[in-house]
Chain A
């Protein structure tokens, strides 16, 4: 279903349909994440990916034209480039550990310590929250800085235009 959504998305030229499909795609991704036991990530993806992103896209569409122009030439070079990248990645993925292999390096290094000692050290049973807010609090602080910077950038970009309009009128 996700594959169908993505293919329809790439082919559709009506940008409104594209945005709605992208929202549906985000919800599908959220359900996949639930199936992969990543409940916190799924909740964020549903709220941010399907909610805020869609609102942002619709806002941008409101300010721009919502119809995409027909491409002037057939996209053969991008297609070849994308396919060759995919082939390279498939070749690379053959060296990766099997799905759900308990002996994979990802399960043997840092994670067991968090899972064993985290609840006692922080008093939070949800290990994701414990790591995010307690062990790696500085990362979360940096993340807030990124969001703040982006917000400042958006305001600077869109405020200039209002001033110009005032000058014109």
Chain B
């Protein structure tokens, strides 16, 4: 029981990760795949941020009267990851738009059919 309580955050993270992975693999629509990828990404954010939290601590802004702070290092890493994530997202969506121009569709099955036909 205590193991369940102390590892609940990991369970949430893993559920989000699995959901994102499932959307990426199972859905043929390229934009839906990008949504799945961003869910996968947020689960990784949680994976980093959650261990840095200390119960009873505050945000890592040093001020008199506070002794316990959450770990600032994962916050820094994830700030970078969010920005890089939106860059990859923009690039992926641009590719999807380009595929739509070339094939007239963003469904994976129809693209493969068209490739097989030509």
Contacts and interface: CB of A to CB of B under 8 A. Distances in A.
Is chain A's interface secondary structure helix, strand, loop, or mixed overall?
A: helix
B1 interface: no
A147 to B, nearest CB: 5
Given A36-B49, A41-B49, A147-B87, A96 B10 contact: yes
Contacts, number: 258
Nearest to A101: B6
Contacts of A37: 52-54, 57-60, 69-70
A94 B14 CA distance: 12
B9 A99 contact: yes
Interface in B12-36: 12, 14-19, 21-23, 25-29, 31-32, 34-36
A35 to B, nearest CB: 8
B95 A157 contact: yes
A120 to B, nearest CB: 10
Contact of B72 (A10, A72, A96, A115): A115
A146 B84 contact: yes
Given A56-B93, A60-B31, A100-B53, A131 B7 contact: no
A82 B22 contact: yes
Interface in B37-68: 38-39, 42, 45-46, 49-55, 57-63
A153 B91 contact: yes
Which residue, B21, B63, B93, has most C-beta atoms of chain A within 10 A? B93
B118 interface: no
B51 A104 contact: yes
Nearest to B11: A90
A143 B83 contact: yes
Interface of B: 3, 5-12, 14-19, 21-23, 25-29, 31-32, 34-36, 38-39, 42, 45-46, 49-55, 57-63, 69-76, 78-80, 82-91, 93-98, 100-101, 105-107, 109-110
